[in-house]
Amino acid sequence: MLTGDWFATPRSKKEIAAVANAWLDYFDYWHHYVSNLPGILEHDLPLLVPKFILMVREDSEMGDVLATTSFDPPQIVFRCSTYRELIRGDGRARFTAAHELGHLLLHSTDKELHRAAQPNYGRIDNRSLSAEWQADTFASNFLMPEHIARTFSSPDELAQNCQVSLAAAQHRMTELGTWPKAKLIPDLSFLNKYR
């Protein structure tokens, strides 16, 4: 979370999914869920992103903010409790971490990134311009890529297998059109001959 919303270079769901898929492939998670997100943050990113800093601060220093990303120098800062939950595999903390990773990978070179105007602060109507929507979309695609999410028949299965919250799994399956399952209406036309 960048605090509030920010205007970013426009990106479509398809473009963001392609970026997430490229990073999944790079981190060797193409064929299965991202099992070691702390490892990506602690070990892989410092090798890939010059001057990257991962910080964990006391909850009291962060207020209500679970995590935040900044770009000069590139850093992600977590609340202590959120990072502990991430290490334990908590679904919400994993989504938060993937969201912040999305900001870092999508927006660090974004020349167009600027805060939403005061009357609209915190809300950008055109979501393709919203840095927060883009980071959420990245996180969803990174933790539940379409080719994996489509293999599950329920949000419960997706949440359990990809270690995300049930709400995130429901949202993803709804977005993909795989849930809720449409109820089949039986063809009762054969009864017409009895009327």
| N-terminal to C-terminal alpha carbon distance within the chain | 63
Per the structure block, which two tokens stand in for 43? 């070990």
Taking the C-alpha atoms of residue 84 and residue 58, their distance in angstroms, rounded to an integer, is: 11
Q: Pairing relation of β-strands 114-115 and 6-7?
A: antiparallel
Phi/psi of residue 56, nearest 5 degrees: -125, 125
pLDDT value at 127 more than 90: no
Q: What is the pLDDT of residues 33-53, one digit of tens each?
A: 999 999 999 999 999 999 999
Running DSSP on this structure, what letter comes out for residue 53?
E
pLDDT value at 29 more than 90: yes
Report the pLDDT value the prediction gives residue 118, as an integer from 0 to 100: 44
Report the pLDDT value the prediction gives residue 90, as an integer from 0 to 100: 98
Report the pLDDT value the prediction gives residue 185, as an integer from 0 to 100: 72
Running DSSP on this structure, what letter comes out for residue 193?
G
Taking the C-alpha atoms of residue 108 and residue 119, their distance in angstroms, rounded to an integer, is: 26
DSSP letters spanning 54-114: EEEE-HHHHTT-SEEEEETTEEEEEEHHHHHHHHHT-HHHHHHHHHHHHHHHHHTT-TT-E
pLDDT value at 114 more than 90: no
Name the nearest CA neighbour of 38 among 106, 93, 75, 79. Answer: 93
Q: Residue 80's CB: how many other CB atoms inside 10 A?
A: 14
The pTM of this model reads 0.86
Report the pLDDT value the prediction gives residue 113, as an integer from 0 to 100: 60
If pLDDT is split at 50, 70 and 90, which confidence band does 119 have? very low
Domain ranges of the chain: 6-194
pLDDT value at 63 more than 70: yes
Average pLDDT rounded to a whole number, residues 22-35: 96
Burial class (CB in 10 A: 0-12, 13-18, 19+), 111: exposed
Evaluate whether 138 touches 102 at the Cβ level (below 8 Å). Answer: yes
